[in-house]
Homo-oligomer: A and B are copies of this chain.
Amino acid sequence: MSVLISGTVALDSVETPFGKKDNILGGSAVHAAVSAGFFTPTSIVSIVGEDFPKEHLDFLEDRKIDTSGIKRVKGQTFRWSGYYEYDMNQAHTRDTKLNVLTEFDPKLNDSQKKSDFVFLANLDPEIQLKIISGLNKPKFVAADTMDFWIKSSREKLHEVIRKVDFILMNESEVRMFMETPNLPLAAKRLLEMGTRAVIIKQGEHGALLFTQNFHFSAPSYPQEAFRDPTGAGDSFAGGFIGYLARTGDLSDGNLRRAVIMGSVMASFNIEDFSLDRMRRLKIREIMERFEEFRKFSEFEALSVAHWV
């Protein structure tokens, strides 16, 4: 089944201890769509300015990502500029220029309306709600958000959470939003608001999945190659929903695998700047790393012989 992704299409300027790149392809919808695109047909709804290089659209189309929902309007493309310190866990924003994003009024085309799997990357909750209202009985909708909306649009964000199946948030955002440092408690409060499941992204420390029935802890990946964390969370979300859409299986066991697949895709994305690692990535490598995750996190039950 196909995936629809809304979010930003951006030109990023990023500095990390491993280099500095200006005006590179970025944006939450791009990172999520390229990741999901490894698994299933994917379509984007977003907006760019007239300055957006055609080569980036060609790159997406070459990967069979449907870009017909990326509206091109007069003005400049959304731009984010930031840097990472040595530990790279925290992005520091230098500048955000919304540009044409302020005019973004998402209209889904007919095929997008019928999407079964939808990921609403971080955007104004008002826009996320508008996209939800344009959907025709989707099977599965997931949404991400960020601290800015928690502070400025708490009520609208509540409405988003009530309407989606899955909510994805960073650890620090969940704590801020639910006003407790206790993650299981914060997840419980989110579930009580009406979402079916909560994914807490912990960066290099892995991810947690909470539903009414079970909890799952995905392990941290021992990342040696690590050049630019930008887009990690969206690559995670794209891998997660892309894998679910491909398998069409929403069982508890497959949700666990989907969280691992999200972790796998994020671990690749951060190995290079922009989408550069994704450009070279092969399905075989994805499957191998998934198996690597299994190998380095499995352990056997206690032997009863030791306790009698």
Contact with B along A268-285 (1 / 0, CB 8 A): 000000000000000100
Task: Indicate whether A104 reaches chain B with its CB closer than 8 angstroms.
Answer: no
Contact between A184 and B223, CB atoms less than 8 A apart: yes
Task: Indicate whether A72 reaches chain B with its CB closer than 8 angstroms.
Answer: no
Chain B residues contacting A183 (CB-CB under 8 Å) are 204, 222
Contact with B along A211-226 (1 / 0, CB 8 A): 0001111111111101
Chain B residues contacting A214 (CB-CB under 8 Å) are 296
Task: Indicate whether A158 reaches chain B with its CB closer than 8 angstroms.
Answer: no
Alpha-carbon distance between A307 and B39 when the two chains are bound, in angstroms = 9
- Residue in chain B with minimal CB distance to A292: B215
Contact between B226 and A208, CB atoms less than 8 A apart: no
Contact with B along A44-55 (1 / 0, CB 8 A): 000000000000
Task: Indicate whether A287 reaches chain B with its CB closer than 8 angstroms.
Answer: yes
Q: Count A-side interface residues using an 8 Å CB cutoff.
A: 50
Chain B residues contacting A246 (CB-CB under 8 Å) are 306
Known A226-B182, A297-B297, A301-B291; judge A220-B205 contact (CB<8 A): yes
Contact with B along A90-131 (1 / 0, CB 8 A): 000000000000000000000000000000000000000000
Alpha-carbon distance between A206 and B204 when the two chains are bound, in angstroms = 12
- Residue in chain B with minimal CB distance to A221: B217
Contact between B181 and A296, CB atoms less than 8 A apart: no
Contact between B257 and A300, CB atoms less than 8 A apart: yes
Q: Smallest distance from the beta carbon of A297 to chain B beta carbons, Å?
A: 5
Alpha-carbon distance between A303 and B257 when the two chains are bound, in angstroms = 10
Q: Which of B187, B219, B290 is within 8 Å of A302, CB to CB? A: B290
The 7 A-B pairs with the shortest beta carbon distances in the complex, nearest first, are A217-B219, A205-B205, A256-B299, A184-B222, A87-B181, A184-B224, A215-B296
Interface residues of A (CB under 8 A from B): 86-88, 175, 181-185, 187, 202, 204-206, 208, 210, 214-224, 226, 246-247, 253, 256-257, 259-260, 283, 287, 290-291, 294, 296-303, 306-307
